[in-house]
């Protein structure tokens, strides 16, 4: 390997293999940059320095991405020609032997870092894209993070147990990927959305401490940080208090970041309740690398003549603000664009107050005196040169909308501090009400334990019930979600009833779990790390596709293999499937 030459003294003989990265042919001298996954080294083919004539002529045939093997002598470079950009820049290899192992067509893009090429081309030729040093580094980082997490869990007595990939379709939130059964015609397996039920069964089985690098599948709309198939680092433990388990996960993250990145994390991580996170940041996964917390203006506008504010408060809503530092001079066109931005979150618009050298400028100036406007801006923490955005309406609309404004301001104004900032968000609501479906749904999943003190509320005031749930947030991304689990059948039955399942439906879908709860199930809880997302953040990348060897596009397509694709009529016949009528029916529903 190229990296190994660093240990070889000048004058030592080495044999190297790899790809031709660059070639410079000066006639009597040929320079080749040889690349393998450990780095790059310069090869020198020079007859005056011992390269046989035939080898020099063969070097002239080399082109980018040819695979070669060379044997030569390590030479210390003159100080004037040291290349500080590569680790081996102080040495080179004077080549005496060359073998061309394989030729290469001209690649569709340069195999180097920092290329500007359409992502579709990169994914179509993923095997070439992965040769680039930065992509090799991402694969290495992924391996190192997995190794560090495994090492920690192994040292703490956890067993790695695999759970099935072909299982039963159960209603857990997202749509399932289905696999038809040949042996049971007309019946289907489902690929697991998560190992949730099986890891709980492992707790029933007395495994007590379990983990798994689990492949998960969800048929849902995709984006830069979501893939149809992804990896969860899944962990479950019995007989452990929630706070102790969270501390263990903090300790694991501390070891992972120290061992892999050389970064020291401060503990304990900040803990925010779901309600506090939403009120202060407008998000249940807030980025705490910058301030700009939301401010409540309700008590300052209770007597206002401005109906938008007054009506919102009268209806039980809120009037909230967020500061945009240094943005007082934004144009009307810019402000209109922000109104369009919040419209996608269900907000009708934003009121503004700008503190400029020429005075206070506001879209609601005719309803307030200048002193009143300054008081509102002051409450939001604004100073000279700042702009204040104000939103009014139902709490469930205003908070997420202003949270999105805050996040965008942080990104556009580059406010986030360097580093990695973790926090826990805890005490989530157990349930939320789905207006479209007209029923309650689990905020996390149906197996999350309610807080004991809130359990009596489940029948008559379900939205007031808090869950023993916790999310781990890193730099504005949820990187892990977990909870203590329901482990008593009567509580699980109550949960299913509140979710709208009849006893027969619940047993038909989850009877195997309910039966297991009859045989001494221990208290237990766990967490699932979004492994791809964690690696993405640690590697400083913007897209999950950079952290997965062979990812899908945003439409769920594999550009390398062409999946998904057609299958033959013979394959369908074996499975007892007639797609023509099914496709027509599906299209009629779209």
SS3 string of 350-408? CEEEEEECCEEEECCHHHCCHHHHHHHHHHCCCCCCCEEEEEEECHHHHHHHHHHHHHH
C-alpha 578/C-alpha 576 separation (Å) is: 7
Helix (H) or strand (E) holding 126: helix 126-129
C-alpha 73/C-alpha 13 separation (Å) is: 5
- How would you class 6 by CB atoms within 10 Å of its CB: exposed for 0-12, middle for 13-18, buried for 19 or more? middle
pLDDT band at 295 (very low <50, low <70, confident <90, very high): very high
Identify the pLDDT of residue 163. 97
Identify the pLDDT of residue 577. 87
Percent of the chain with pLDDT over 70: 97
**Residues 409, 415 contacting (CB under 8 angstroms):** yes
**Residues 216, 229 contacting (CB under 8 angstroms):** yes
Mean pLDDT, rounded, for 188-199: 95
DSSP state of 456: G
pLDDT band at 220 (very low <50, low <70, confident <90, very high): confident
Identify the pLDDT of residue 583. 60
Q: Is residue 420's pLDDT more than 80?
A: yes
C-alpha 279/C-alpha 299 separation (Å) is: 15
Query: Tens digits of per-residue pLDDT, 308-338?
Result: 999 999 999 999 999 999 999 999 999 999 9
Q: Is residue 350's pLDDT more than 70?
A: yes
Helix (H) or strand (E) holding 66: none
Mean pLDDT, rounded, for 359-386: 96
Identify the pLDDT of residue 173. 66
Where would I find the H helices in 282-323?
307-314
**Residues 36, 1 contacting (CB under 8 angstroms):** yes
C-alpha 470/C-alpha 378 separation (Å) is: 34
3-class DSSP state for residue 413?
coil
- Residues with Cβ < 8 Å from 433, sequence gap 6 or more? 439, 440, 441, 463
Q: Cα-atom radius of gyration of the chain, to the nearest Å?
A: 30
**Residues 2, 16 contacting (CB under 8 angstroms):** yes
Query: Computed from CA positions of residues 123, 127, 128, 131, in that sequence, does the dihedral angle turn out positive or negative?
Result: positive
Task: Show the tokens assigned to 530.
Answer: 């979004």
Strand pairing class (91-102; 39-46): parallel
Q: Is residue 582's pLDDT more than 70?
A: no
How many Cβ atoms from other residues are within 10 Å of residue 432's Cβ?
14
Q: Is residue 345's pLDDT more than 80?
A: yes
pLDDT band at 140 (very low <50, low <70, confident <90, very high): very high
**Residues 405, 342 contacting (CB under 8 angstroms):** yes
DSSP state of 107: P
- How would you class 555 by CB atoms within 10 Å of its CB: exposed for 0-12, middle for 13-18, buried for 19 or more? exposed
- Residues with Cβ < 8 Å from 401, sequence gap 6 or more? 282, 342, 345, 346, 347, 391
Identify the pLDDT of residue 221. 78
Query: Tens digits of per-residue pLDDT, 43-96?
Result: 999 999 889 999 999 999 999 999 999 999 999 999 999 999 999 999 999 999
C-alpha 567/C-alpha 565 separation (Å) is: 7
Q: Phi, psi (5° rounding) for residue 179?
A: -125, 115
Identify the pLDDT of residue 436. 87
pLDDT band at 467 (very low <50, low <70, confident <90, very high): very high
Distance of CA 445 to the CA centre of its chain: 19
Identify the pLDDT of residue 584. 53
Query: Computed from CA positions of residues 263, 267, 273, 277, in that sequence, does the dihedral angle turn out positive or negative?
Result: negative
To the nearest whole number, what is the mean pLDDT of the chain? 94
DSSP state of 14: E
- How would you class 8 by CB atoms within 10 Å of its CB: exposed for 0-12, middle for 13-18, buried for 19 or more? middle
C-alpha 465/C-alpha 463 separation (Å) is: 6
3-class DSSP state for residue 537?
helix
Angle between helix axes 395-412 and 274-281 (nearest 10 degrees) is 60
3-class DSSP state for residue 428?
coil
CA angle 362, 409, 277 (to 5 degrees): 100
**Residues 292, 406 contacting (CB under 8 angstroms):** yes
Query: Tens digits of per-residue pLDDT, 141-189?
Result: 999 999 999 999 999 999 999 999 999 988 766 789 999 999 998 899 9
- Residues with Cβ < 8 Å from 157, sequence gap 6 or more? 209
Query: Tens digits of per-residue pLDDT, 448-457?
Result: 999 999 999 9
Whole-number Cα distances in Å, 267 to 166, 197, 249, 375, 424:
40, 31, 11, 38, 12
The structure tokens 């369009």 sit at: 340
Q: Lowest mean pLDDT: which of 21-25, 553-557, 576-580? A: 576-580
């Amino acid at each position: 390997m190229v990296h190994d030459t660093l240990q070889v003294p000048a004058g030592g003989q080495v044999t190297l293999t790899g790809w031709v990265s660059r070639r410079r042919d000066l006639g009597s001298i040929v320079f080749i940059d040889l690349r393998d996954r450990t780095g790059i080294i310069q090869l020198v083919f020079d007859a005056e320095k011992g390269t046989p004539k035939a080898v020099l002529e063969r070097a002239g045939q080399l082109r980018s991405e040819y695979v070669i093997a060379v044997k030569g002598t390590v030479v210390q470079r003159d100080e004037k020609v040291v290349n500080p950009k590569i680790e081996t820049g102080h040495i080179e290899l004077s080549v005496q032997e060359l073998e061309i192992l394989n030729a290469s067509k001209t690649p569709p893009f340069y195999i180097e870092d920092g290329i500007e090429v359409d992502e579709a081309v990169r994914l179509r030729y993923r095997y070439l894209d992965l040769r680039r040093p930065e992509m090799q580094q991402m694969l290495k980082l992924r391996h190192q993070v997995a190794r560090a997490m495994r090492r920690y869990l192994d040292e703490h007595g956890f067993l790695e147990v695999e759970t099935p990939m072909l299982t039963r379709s159960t209603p857990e939130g997202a749509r399932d990927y289905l696999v038809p059964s040949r042996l049971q015609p007309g019946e289907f397996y489902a690929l697991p959305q998560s190992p949730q039920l099986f890891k709980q069964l492992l707790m029933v089985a007395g495994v007590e401490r379990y983990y798994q690098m689990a492949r998960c599948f969800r048929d849902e709309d995709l984006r830069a940080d979501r893939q149809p198939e992804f990896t969860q680092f899944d962990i479950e433990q019995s007989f452990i208090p929630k706070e102790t388990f969270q501390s263990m996960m903090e300790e694991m993250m501390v070891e992972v970041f120290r061992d892999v990145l050389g970064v020291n994390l401060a503990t304990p991580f900040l803990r925010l309740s779901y309600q506090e996170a939403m009120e202060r940041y407008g998000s249940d996964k807030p980025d705490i690398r910058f301030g700009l917390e939301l401010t409540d203006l309700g008590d300052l506008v209770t007597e206002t003549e401005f109906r938008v504010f007054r009506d919102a408060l009268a209806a039980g809503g809120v009037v909230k603000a967020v500061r945009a530092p240094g943005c007082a001079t934004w144009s009307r066109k810019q402000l209109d664009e922000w109104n369009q931005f919040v419209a996608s979150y269900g907000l009708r618009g934003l009121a503004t107050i700008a503190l400029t050298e020429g005075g206070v400028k506001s879209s609601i100036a005719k309803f307030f005196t200048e002193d009143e406007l300054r008081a509102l801006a002051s409450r939001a923490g604004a100073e000279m040169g700042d702009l204040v955005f104000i939103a009014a309406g139902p709490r469930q609309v205003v908070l997420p909308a202003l949270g999105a404004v805050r996040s965008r301001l942080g990104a556009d104004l580059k406010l986030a501090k360097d580093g990695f900032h973790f926090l826990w968000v805890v005490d989530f609501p157990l349930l939320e009400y789905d207006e479209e479906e007209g029923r309650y749904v689990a905020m996390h999943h149906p197996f999350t334990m309610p807080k004991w003190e809130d359990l009596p509320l489940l029948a008559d005031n379900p939205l007031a019930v808090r869950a023993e749930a916790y999310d781990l947030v890193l730099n504005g991304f949820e990187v892990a979600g977990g909870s203590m689990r329901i482990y008593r059948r009567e509580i699980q039955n109550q949960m299913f009833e509140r979710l709208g399942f009849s006893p027969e439906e619940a047993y038909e879908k989850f009877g195997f779990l309910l039966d297991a709860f009859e045989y001494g199930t221990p208290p237990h809880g766990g967490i699932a790390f979004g492994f791809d997302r964690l690696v993405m953040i640690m590697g400083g990348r913007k897209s999950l596709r950079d952290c997965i060897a062979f990812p899908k596009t945003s439409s769920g397509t594999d550009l390398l293999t062409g999946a998904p694709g057609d299958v033959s009529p013979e394959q369908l016949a074996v499975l007892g499937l007639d797609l023509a009528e099914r496709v027509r029916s599906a299209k009629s529903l779209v």
